[in-house]
Structure 1
Amino acid sequence: MNSNPMYMEYVDDADPQPAPRRGWRILGWVCVGLSAVMVVGSLAAYGVYRKAMGNISHEDVNAQLGPNRPKKLNSAMNILLLGSDTRAGSNAKYGRQMKNEPPRSDTMILLHLSPGGGQAMGISFPRDLIIPMPSCKTRKGTVVPAQSRAQINSAFTNGGAACVIKTIESISNIRVDHFMQVDFAGFKTITKAVGGVPVCLPKDVNDPKSGLKLSKGQHKISGETALAYVRVRHGLGDGSDTDRIKRQQKFMGALASKAMSAGVLSNPKSLLQLMNAVTKSLTTDKELTPQVMMDLAQEMQGMSSGKLRFVTVPSGPDAADPNRVALSAAAQPFFSAVRNDKTVPKEPKAGGSKIPPSQVRVRVYNGSGINGQAGRVADDLESQGFQVTVGGNAPSTTTTTKVLYGSGADQQAQTLAGLIPSKPQPAARGTGATPGVVDLVVGRDWTNLKSAGAGIPKQQGEIRASDDICKDT
């Protein structure tokens, strides 16, 4: 067997048996959805969660990381989610010949919880991402030297969760507050506990490698079928890992949405089953205590599934190896947006509009003459919570940005006008405007929203937990 961690993912390592193989990678995705559920769900869930805390294993990583770490710039919370292929305990049946090998992780997701409870984002780091690897201490106390080029999934093999945290922090300069590590033993119980997860297939699938056999269309899957669905690679899509990541992100979004909206959190029996399934397969840092989880739950209470987003870190083909990927030019601006994510804007002061952005419907027109400007502004507005559509190009270019509104939308227009930095003309009733809708005509004087940084701009290819499961299939 090849001992290079870079190639470990391709090893078909399970003992001959009907049980699914290499399910460990998938459990990281389950961890994303259910970590979000535990954090943003009803506070009624906390009592059940606290009882289940005794199942969780803990690891002290602070001593290994030391003092030289990125500074926190705000009250956001960043939790690193890891999937482990350990064969310890009941996991041994998924490959007994690997029992004595160091565990690996090909699932690394940074769950970013915005200040003020506004939104959450799961940021996926592809397993074959090539990055500079910092030096790390191994589990036996020796040191693995720094490398100028290494595949990111080898960090866990080198030094466990502490090494992955150190690696993520070194390339992003984002402070990682906590970590959650999950193995694959509880996967089937988790998907059953939520009553199955809805998926949508673009074609019939009969893949002997994964064991997935489903017809085209919508299905509700759990257990063995769910595991086969999230691990299938060549039976769906283009066979790439990035394509599979997108499918797994949609699965996690559907899982989180189901748990948050389908009564799982309010059903004591279902909740206990769900929490036991998660916590029995979970390892965290010692600082992620029940009280910390309670504080997070209070802050994020009431967050809808539409505010739970999933993205892949900006990346593209590695110049030195087309079979690997590297961070793209968009990565550092994206990391900066995450680092500087501020509390969602407060309600306007007395005397101004009291309509929150979430209740304002905005249609954006490009009057600047700059190609693509309406789309960019729409993305910024959406990140602030506005309901946004793009109307296209304005009839003519304009120097000054304009806010126009239809009947019944005068207060909504004031909410939008208050965030525009270029001192637009006073909001005015638009001729032929749609009732209840505010029209924003972006002029050449546009710079950015006053609240820029209060949220992370929409990312290319992002998925929301509220998305239609058949979207883009």
Structure 2
Amino acid sequence: MNSPLYLDYADDAKTPEPETLENKGVSKGWKALGWVSVAMSGVLVLGSISAYGYARYLDGRITRFEAPEGVAAPPKLNEAVNILLLGSDSRQGKDNEKYGKSLAGEVPRADATILMHFSPGGGAVTGISFPRDLMVDIPSCQTREGGTSAPQRGMINSAFSIGGATCTWKTVQTITNIHIDHVAVVDFAGFKGVVDAIGGVQICLPNDVNDKDSKLNLKKGKHNVKGETALAYVRARHGLGDGSDLSRVKRQQQFLGSVAKKALSQGVLGNPVKLNAMLRSVTKTVEVDEDFTLEAMVDLGTKLKDVKLNKIRFVTVPYAPYAPDPNRVALAQPDANTFFSQIANDNEIEDMNKKETVPASEVQVKVLNGSGIEGAAARTGEALTAKEFQVLSVGNPKEMPAETQILYGEGAEAAANTLAKQVSGVKPVPSQKVAAGTVHLVLGPGWTGLVTKTKLPKKLDGEIKAGDNICAQT
């Protein structure tokens, strides 16, 4: 489940046309993604626009569309607000055609689909990502030409091509059974202007990156990126992560968190010039349903004005490989339905991405002391033996680690996951240097011992929070 598959995007193929951001390595999908992050932050601060005399002017800049017909919306179970954010790759209009003028006549697609769940009272926000290559059942929709499409199986992003935002709205409601209150569609024309308006977005690179395709050339560490550099960061294929789609989704979620963190900071909220510039850019490019009025936006923004950054998190729907096509994924059931039910009921979300484990008595582990603390490996080995782990040996590593590590050989992932429950904050990593079926626990600097609690804090596997240290996972 949630395997880190590499999903090749068809629209990444290069076409011979004049040099634009598109063929300079900036993917249209990732530009749309950037706009989704901006729109999310804009929704969070819209409550502030009531302080400005031209709030109605901003509202008048927003394009609106009708709600979908033909499929009854799931019941609204509480006062939570669910907003579906869609990133469009439309080239229509002078602001968009410069990113690929030859594509202006093509049917636009949704390159980013994120359901924002705002808990009652504004206490928490959860952004739920749907992989664009997720295979789902798309219901009958009114087409862009005014006809009616047949129900079909397809990638979730194709619903937007069939019938625009309303078809995607119907599709997401159908597969999740979650009541969607509003939908917002954004394009990428003003991406650079918005990022620049908030003073750039902070990212953190785990290593130097020199990607000739995306034109991303940055040194390891923290950077405040703007405009094309920000686009290159979210688009880069090489030099960041493992090159898989899952890795890029994580980077997407980290980018969303950084944008929210910056947009909600006093440096923006307390700066009329920056706030106005951001809101003007957002309202210029956003398209929402007709019921998402200015009053509704202000009401939501007011409820969210005190939301804490660590209560804003981003997760991915539970998914698994799609059997007919290894380049696609499908919802992992019954986990996905359980997850959607928890969102609809605004319950505490359980971890649907729990890793497979085995009994401790089946785990064969070597403990290696790279902590610099004399006797640490022997004491840890004794503690693991008391917990029924099979401790093969204790000793010292050939190379001193920078931090505590759990390394596992072929076929030992489940065993490593079991061991990880005993070690705080360490994620198992496969290693060809470790014998098949075994695990190495390499104690690093600052080692303080095994965890003493029998139950870990409730946290979704791999979630990203807006308040996270952006360098913590690099």
Calculate the TM-score normalised by the size of structure 2.
0.71
Compute the displacement of 1:217 (Å).
1.3
2:11 maps to which of 9, 13, 22: 9
1:213 match: secondary structure: strand
Distance 1:97 1:71, change over 3 A: same
Counterpart amino acid of residue 252 in structure 2: Q
For 1:103, give the aligned amino acid. Answer: P
Superposition deviation, residue 29 in structure 1: 3.5
Query: What is the match of residue 466 of structure 1?
Result: 467
Using the alignment, how far apart are the partners of 2:131 and 2:16 within structure 1? 23
**Contact in 1 for aligned 2:211/2:239 (Cα 8 Å):** yes
Aligned equivalent of 2:64, options 48, 58, 66: 58
2:279 partner SS: helix
Aligned mate of 2:281, from 251, 254, 277: 277
Distance 1:55 1:14 in 2: 35
Per-residue deviation, 1:131: 1.4
Between stretches 314-323 and 265-274, larger displacement belongs to: 314-323
1:84–1:103: 8 Å Cα contact kept in structure 2?
yes
Partner of 1:208: 212
Check whether the contact 1:32–1:111 (CA below 8 A) recurs between aligned residues: no
Aligned pair in 2 of structure 1 residues 301, 14: CA closer, same or farther (>3 Å)? Answer: farther
User: 1:65 Cα shift?
Assistant: 2.4
Residue identity opposite 1:17 in structure 2? E
Cα displacement string for residues 31-86 of structure 1 (whole angstroms, at most 9, x for unaligned residues): 444344334338433344543222211111x2x32352211111111111011111
- 2:83 aligned with 1:79: yes
Q: Residue 316 of structure 2 is aligned with which of 287, 312, 315? A: 312
Equivalent residue runs for 1:182-221 within 5 Å: 182-221=186-225
- Please state if 1:103 is matched with 2:108: yes
Identity of counterpart residues, as a percentage?
A: 47
The answer to whether the 8 A contact 1:45-1:265 is kept is: no
Gap change, CA 1:13 and 1:75, over 3 Å in 2:
farther
Partner of 2:345: 340
Aligned equivalent of 2:254, options 244, 250, 253: 250
For residue 44 of structure 1, give the secondary structure of its aligned residue in structure 2.
helix
Letter in 2 for 1:199: I
In structure 2, what is the equivalent of residue 350 of structure 1? none
Give secondary structure in 1 for the equivalent of 2:295: helix
1:167 matched to 2:166? The reply is no
Q: Is the 8 A contact 2:34 2:231 kept in 1?
A: no
- Between the aligned partners of 1:441 and 1:245, the Cα distance in structure 2 is 31
Instruction: Give, in whole Å, the separation in 1 of the partners of 2:464 and 2:194.
Output: 22
Cα distance in 2 between the residues matched to 1:292 and 1:42: 10
Say whether residues 1:232 and 2:233 are aligned partners.
no
Q: What is the CA deviation profile of residues 396-416 of structure 1, one whole-angstrom value per residue up to 9, with x for unaligned ones?
A: 9xxxxxxxxxxxxxxxxxxxx
Q: Is the 8 A contact 1:125 1:313 kept in 2?
A: yes
CA contact (8 A) 2:20 2:98 kept: no
Q: Deviations over 1:91-135 (max 9, x none)?
A: 111112211111111200001101111101111100111112212
CA distance in 1, matches of 2:9, 2:453: 52
State how far apart, in whole Å, the 1-side matches of 2:181 and 2:13 are. 33
* 2:57 matches 1:44: no
| Segment drifting more, 21-30 vs 193-202 | 21-30
Letter of the 1:55 counterpart:
R
The equivalent residue for 1:406 is: none
Q: Give ranges in structure 2 of 5+ residues lacking alignment.
A: 1-7, 349-358, 361-382, 388-451
Q: Secondary structure at the match of 1:91?
A: helix
1:117 is aligned to 122
| Number of corresponding residues | 365
CA 1:226–1:207 in 2, change beyond 3 Å: closer, same or farther? same
Distance 1:14 1:265, change over 3 A: farther
Which stretch of structure 1 is more off in the superposition, 457-466 or 264-273?
A: 457-466
Residue 41 of structure 1 aligns with an amino acid whose one-letter code is V
Instruction: Name 1:295's counterpart in structure 2.
Output: 299
Does the residue aligned with 2:127 lie in a helix, a strand or coil? strand
Give the secondary-structure state (helix, strand or coil) at the position aligned to 1:65: coil
CA RMSD of aligned residues (A): 2.8
Q: 1:342 to 1:237 in 2, by over 3 A?
A: closer
| Structure 2 Cα separation of the partners of residues 137 and 339 of structure 1 | 26
Matching residue's letter, 2:42: M
Shift of 1:14: 7.5
TM-score (norm 1): 0.72
Counterparts of 1:323 and 1:460 in 2: how far apart (Å)?
23
Q: 1:85 to 1:51 in 2, by over 3 A?
A: same
Q: Is the 8 A contact 1:114 1:342 kept in 2?
A: no
Task: Specify whether residues 71 and 246 from structure 1 end up closer, same or farther in structure 2 by C-alpha distance, changes over 3 A only.
Answer: same
Alpha-carbon distance change, 266 to 45 in structure 1, aligned in 2, over 3 angstroms: farther
| Secondary structure at 1:106 match in 2 | strand
Secondary structure in 2 aligned to 1:109? strand
Q: Report whether the alignment pairs 1:133 with 2:135.
A: no
Q: Which range moved further: 176-185 or 234-243?
A: 234-243
Which amino acid is 1:119 matched to? A
- The alpha-carbon deviation at position 310 of structure 1 amounts to 0.6
